[in-house]
Amino acid sequence: MGDQDLHHLGVHTKQQNARALVDHVMSVPSIRLLTVIPHHYRYRGSRPRCEGHDNMNAIDTDRVWLITGASSGFGRQFVRAALDGGDRVVATARRVADIREPANDRLLRTRLDVTDQQSIDSSVGAALDQFGRIDVLVNNAGYGLLGAFEEIDEDRFRENIDVNFFGPCAVTRAVLPSMRARQSGHIVQMSSVIGVVPGPGGTAYAAAKFALEGFSEALAAEVRHLGIGVTIVEPGPFRTDASGRSLKWGNPLDDYAELIGPARVAFESTHGSQPGDPRRGVDAVIEAISSDEPPLRLPLGSTSFD
């Protein structure tokens, strides 16, 4: 299936059941990206192997992670995987009580709202005070907002951009000085396949993720000489809250009902049964950023499926 086909799915939604629609909208582009994505697209601007810079592999046994959105989904799996690997973790969420892993000498739990600069600065400061450095930043916090452009009012559209784009920018800005001082570090930006192949109903979410992708690629080129890497992760359908509590919808309009309505049914009916295993996806990310040539982009799809 080509990109053009994705833009005409609305014509066929009446003939497709809910699961087939999700497969067309999300799974197919994920698989295509994994199998034919050009080498230059994946590696352009990724962290170089530089003399005099710390290599991530050299500190693999004791990395310090700062993870946003750590209470569920990919965020929680990053926390668990990092701890399982013997690393130290700063797990953040808007509500600390939602972080299910108990605090210990290797796990610091802090409140971080990506739209609240004070909470960002406080979390980063606490991480540096307790562990002395941040080796890996995972910008995972965010939510989905789907619906036709006219179905999403201006305030909700802007809020989506604030959380999904300006939020990661703000956290990155707070962490970069310490990475720059050490000439080492890696930034993981959790994007989406919708940030590469958008479709009907994705105007708001795609706008935020496309912005994040462009920002991150430019940032990678700016910081690579400092020994800092950037990897943009582009997941397809995984068993996370991305199609559950973390997914919001616009206010339905009759003129878009035939196009958007079936997609909403599809997301709701397949929540919890998506093919992607989030822990396997996270393991793939960790393996990629720990390699000698970490990718700029890492599409996640069929290779992480059960």
Which of 46, 72, 123, 205 is labelled catalytic? 205
243 among known catalytic residues: no
Give the chain as a 3 state SS string. CCHHHHCCHHHHHHHCCHHHHHHHHHHHHHHHHHHHCCHHHHHCCCCCCCCCCCCHHHHHHHCEEEECCCCCHHHHHHHHHHHHCCCEEEEEECCHHHCCCCCECCEEEEECCCCCHHHHHHHHHHHHHHHCCCCEEEECCCCEEEECHHHCCHHHHHHHHHHHHHHHHHHHHHHHHHHHHHCCEEEEEECCHHHCCCCCCEHHHHHHHHHHHHHHHHHHHHHHHHCEEEEEEEECCECCHHHCCCEEECCCCHHHHHHHHHHHHHHHHHCCCCCECHHHHHHHHHHHHCCCCCCCEEEECHHHEC
Which of 30, 46, 192, 209 is labelled catalytic? 209
Which of 46, 71, 191, 304 is labelled catalytic? 191
Structure tokens of 263?
A: 């997609």
CA-CA distance, 160 to 162, in Å (whole number)?
5
14 among known catalytic residues: no
Active-site annotation, residues: 191, 205, 209
